[in-house]
C-alpha cells in the first residue's frame, strides 16, 4: 500500500470512501451518472481524475472538488519527481515577476 501522501486518488476513493459506504464501482458509477469503467479505471490506477469526475465525487461525498484535484495534483507531482530522478537543480531561477503581473 502506498503512503497517503503519494497514493493514487483512486486508492483514496476506494479505501476511504467506497469501502466504508460498501459501494461497488458499478454502484458509484450509477450514482455519479458515469460509465462503470471510468470508476473502475480510477480505482485501479490506470486513469486519472478529471475535473468533471472531481465535481461529481465532491457532490456525492459532500467534499470539495479541490480535495479531489489536490489528490490528483499531489500524486502526479510525486510521480514526476520519482520518474525524473532529479529535483531540476540544473534549472536556474528566472527573473522576479513584478507584483503587477500577479
* pLDDT above 70 coverage of the chain, percent: 88
Segments forming the whole domain that contains residue 21? 4-81
Half-sphere exposure of 96 (CA within 13 A, CB side): 3
In a domain, residue 94? The reply is no
**Residue 26 placed within a domain:** yes
* 100 is a domain residue: no
Beta carbons of 9 and 49 less than 8 angstroms apart: yes
Q: How many domains does the chain have?
A: 1
Residues in the chain: 102
Does residue 95 belong to any structural domain of this protein?
Answer: no
- Evaluate whether residue 25 is within a structural domain: yes
CATH number for the domain spanning 59: value is 1.10.260.40
Model confidence pLDDT, tens digit, residues 30-69: 999 999 999 999 999 999 999 999 999 999 999 999 999 9
Cell of 16: 476511504
Q: Is residue 42 part of a domain?
A: yes
15 secondary structure, DSSP code: I
Q: Is the pLDDT of residue 16 over 80?
A: yes
Cell of 6: 503519494
User: What is the reported pTM?
Assistant: 0.81
pLDDT at residue 4 greater than cutoff 80: no
87 within some domain? no
Please state, rounded to an integer, the average pLDDT across all residues of the chain. 89
Overall average pLDDT of the 64-85 stretch: 91
Residue 99 has pLDDT above 70, yes or no: no
Amino acid at each position: 500500500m502506498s503512503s497517503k501522501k503519494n497514493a493514487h486518488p483512486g486508492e483514496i476513493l476506494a479505501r476511504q470512501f467506497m469501502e466504508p459506504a460498501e459501494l461497488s464501482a458499478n454502484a458509484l458509477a450509477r450514482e455519479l451518472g458515469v460509465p462503470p469503467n471510468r470508476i473502475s479505471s480510477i480505482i485501479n490506477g490506470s486513469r486519472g481524475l478529471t475535473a468533471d469526475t472531481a465535481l461529481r465525487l465532491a457532490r456525492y461525498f459532500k467534499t470539495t472538488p479541490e480535495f479531489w484535484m489536490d489528490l490528483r495534483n499531489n500524486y502526479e507531482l510525486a510521480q514526476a519527481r520519482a520518474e525524473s530522478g532529479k529535483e531540476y537543480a540544473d534549472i536556474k531561477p528566472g527573473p522576479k515577476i513584478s507584483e503587477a503581473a500577479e
